[in-house]
Structure 1
């Protein structure tokens, strides 16, 4: 059965708490609208800017509005979602597993937190551990779909406003996580300043929105004809624009590498043969020069890695997510009840100022 065709007249809610979530959920919205479904948005917290909603995107302003609208499913690119919303809750992830650990030394990406009914996983290296959790816990299902955020990388329709045919230099994209311990930004300023002055490459820069403002301003000041600092809620066109990325341990490097393009990392906490990892700032330029040659062995290693990370290059992950959601809605599988975490329930209701039961 083609479950995508059962979208018609169903209601789907997009739940976001960060600006980058717009770009994650809009491809799903497009698949829903193309198949006759309805979409609404709920924006939670002060970190998300309502001005990024387009005129045709309809916002629900309160929890009562959500209950009155009665969505069949809610999509969230977050670790947590209120369990008291109507309909099923679908987790679609806010990034790839970059190997970051929590305070107890556990992988923070591979956790089930008692909120979701369905996880739509990105590739085998996410699916396998979540399938194991599904078997162990029994209160959610797992379907591998690919990550909707990346659909535009593979459809051929994406514009690249950050490059020009008149500039024939190779393009380097520099991204960094906000964690002081992991970020390249405080450690590579002199090297990046040098790169911006030589004009050897066309450089684009984009930092995590939680990066300290003093660092952002410091790098903004480097902007010239060789380096452009970009602030955006949609990183995907940036990924498409560049030939090579310089990064640290941010999961955005994995969004880049699925294009089968090289990534140079600085002090990555999980270096492997699909990356060109550097720990000495003085060796950085040589590593970037090598990356621009797309060396054969490196590219083979990247392909092998991508087959586990995100093997889908058809641009249809959004359709698979919607189909998996509809299949769940139509199934009669019996799941275990979700764990009732009273502390989390209280915190969630306090954050939303919602005390109805």
Structure 2
């Protein structure tokens, strides 16, 4: 059996990596996972048949490929380095500092849809040290295939009531969670809609405590690793400037955003918490024009709706390893510099993987 390695750093990596892990195991690969940062410190693991390894185990493994739901990867690991992305491009930062930033570490970028494929292919033609294949995003596979009734089970306490979902970024200047708490609490107390509440794993613990306390007959708190199930269960999303917005919208469902950094036609954006009830009413009864905008944008950022993006990632990686994507130029000098920085961060000064 051929070994492969999954790599993640934050809790949001888990729902990205799990569908790919399942597809890799089904394809006959021996799947391992290496976690850095918060995931490593928390002792998080992935369920069998995934085998967990530390940094030395990852070096010794010499996998065919390393699949990354993080911004960087140790270049001293063996195998093709595959970037899966940890979110959509929501323009939190300028392109050269955000979604399209190159770090010189990856051999293959598996893009989510035309909106990101074209810019990355332009960068690939310019730099030539990586390939780009549009595969769709493994995290969304469970949105578009049988989930065994998980979403229906999560929705069941709502009864006949419509379901709203709230999700917020951790970035302080962009987060809606501190500003909308009172307005959301009032909506939950009213009880005419059922709420699924979740926060980015990096939000402050005290914010988690406040939103968890809203759980009851009219609301449930959803742990971050179950966010895809919540997206499938909900009818409308309330959020801010986070990649959960496009993740939810690709289902052709309305989104309400609070002070979005770059509002788009498919969003119902507002800036005064007092307007929340009216904005929710608009979202639960969307206009034909709004739905047309949602469909156009959804098809641009993630047109893959078959639930098999993980399989396309595997096929693209196999093509890369077999040389079917063409020869790549040598990695730039910045990759060596970043490699030293990563060694220092990990405290690993042992030999690099061979082969």
TM-score, L = length of structure 2: 0.93
The partner residue of 1:59 within 26, 39, 52 is 52
For the residue of structure 2 that corresponds to 1:89, the secondary structure is strand
Larger helix proportion of the pair: 2
For the residue of structure 1 that corresponds to 2:179, the secondary structure is coil
| 8 A contact 1:20–1:234 mirrored in 2 | no
Relative to structure 1, is the Cα distance of residues 305 and 166 closer, same or farther in structure 2, using a 3 angstrom cutoff?
Answer: closer
Q: Which runs of 5+ in 2 are unaligned?
A: none
| 8 A contact 1:196–1:224 mirrored in 2 | no
TM-score, L = length of structure 1: 0.92
The partner residue of 2:329 within 328, 336, 345 is 336
| 8 A contact 1:99–1:107 mirrored in 2 | no
Per-residue deviation, 1:197: 1.2
| 8 A contact 1:114–1:338 mirrored in 2 | yes
Matches within 5 A, 1:160-309: 160=151, 161-164=153-156, 167-309=159-301
Q: Which runs of 5+ in 1 are unaligned?
A: 1-8
Higher mean C-alpha displacement, 122-131 vs 210-219: 210-219
CA deviation string 1:185-228 (max 9, x = no partner): 11112211211111121011100011111222122222331122
Distance in 2, matches of 1:301 and 1:107, equals 28
Per-residue deviation, 1:69: 2.1
**Residue 131 of structure 1 aligns with which residue?**
121
CA deviation string 1:83-109 (max 9, x = no partner): 11111100000000011116xx74501
**Residue 352 of structure 1 aligns with which residue?**
346
| 8 A contact 2:169–2:175 mirrored in 1 | yes
| 8 A contact 1:119–1:142 mirrored in 2 | yes
Relative to structure 1, is the Cα distance of residues 195 and 231 closer, same or farther in structure 2, using a 3 angstrom cutoff?
Answer: same
Distance in 2, matches of 1:293 and 1:142, equals 39
Per-residue deviation, 1:305: 0.4
| 8 A contact 1:100–1:107 mirrored in 2 | no
**Residue 90 of structure 2 aligns with which residue?**
98
Per-residue deviation, 1:53: 2.2
How many residue pairs match? The answer is 346
| 8 A contact 2:200–2:224 mirrored in 1 | no
Per-residue deviation, 1:28: 1.4
